[in-house]
Structure 1
């Protein structure tokens, strides 16, 4: 597998992280580059580590992982999206710091939810002729860059439409989870 194919796989895997990064950027009143880098690092590292784990698990567990990955992703994204919607509808509009803090637990859950498909890709890498370490490095770097850009894009729109943007971001997360679930169940 060549660098072009691996790059396209990396871009494809990064799209969920990109959408979630936009949602995270929506919550910022003012762009916080440190928060953007931390968010991008979470997504980039998880998108790199999961295929590595999948690669080493290989054939032994592939049937079990692919049969439940869509449910795990759906549950995590629906929970986090629902939480975002709830907080947007119940927060005090005078709050100056809402959405500006780094919630490591939430980032951890989001990184897992958006990288489960990368675990399955890693399982397929076990059956292909790929250099696993350069592949996961490329996937991680692509995801980092795309996620950082997503935070910035989200912030540009979120600073003007914060409450509506939080609701929209929560709905997006739920829809991403639902899309993954329906694709796995019906396609």
Structure 2
């Protein structure tokens, strides 16, 4: 019974982290969507974001497994520290107020640059998760699903709402990751 509860808790944690990472794609998607976007471009960008949200945490998890073998018993502190830094960085960026300028999001380089910029955080989270035994298949699928879903929602919502909401989405994701970092440490 205790093992089922622990496994369920781990799955809930992964889903919450996936949503938190997806909030970055959501918030930046609003900004791109505000400039006007075709539905085909929404699908194209969201697919590439979902793909990057699968590949980058996967690479991060492999790096995390390697680091875990080196660091031994201090891995939870290192993983928590990474999440604290990542969450703090997301919070800082949301209040900084600078607008990120992208290439033409319809071009292949623009789609890749945009997707990489909203997915790079998932590499760091993958490193943290790689230091623990987590369900690899479920983790990368959850990250990809929520990254893609949140980008679709952000891009579509950006067509109709004000730009200020985007900063709050990134801040919320940062607070969630920062909180998990504290939980890993304490």
Same fold by TM-score, threshold 0.5 exceeded? yes
Aligned to 1:14: 22
Aligned to 2:99: 81
Match for residue 131 of structure 2 among 127, 136, 140: 127
Aligned to 1:118: 122
Is the 8 Å Cα contact of residues 21 and 39 (structure 1) preserved in structure 2?
no
Is the 8 Å Cα contact of residues 65 and 132 (structure 2) preserved in structure 1?
no
Aligned to 1:40: 46
Match for residue 156 of structure 2 among 140, 143, 152: 152
Q: CA deviation at 1:104?
A: 2.3
SS at match of 1:102: coil
SS at match of 1:157: coil
Any stretches of 5+ residues in structure 2 without a counterpart?
A: 1-6, 69-77
| Cα deviation 1:75-103 (Å, max 9, x = unaligned) | 9xx9x93536xx9xxxxxxxxxxx7x613
SS at match of 1:156: coil
Query: What is the TM-score normalised by the length of structure 1?
Result: 0.62
Aligned to 2:75: none
**Counterpart mapping for 1:86-101 below 5 A:** none
Q: CA deviation at 1:45?
A: 1.2
Distance 1:132 1:157, change over 3 A: same
Matched, 1:49 2:67: no
- The alignment of Structure 1 onto Structure 2 pairs a total of residues equal to 151
- Counterpart CA distance in 1 for 2:135 and 2:65 is 17
Q: CA deviation at 1:19?
A: 0.6
Aligned to 1:141: 145
Query: What is the TM-score normalised by the length of structure 2?
Result: 0.62
CA RMSD after TM alignment: 3.9
- Counterpart CA distance in 2 for 1:56 and 1:150 is 30
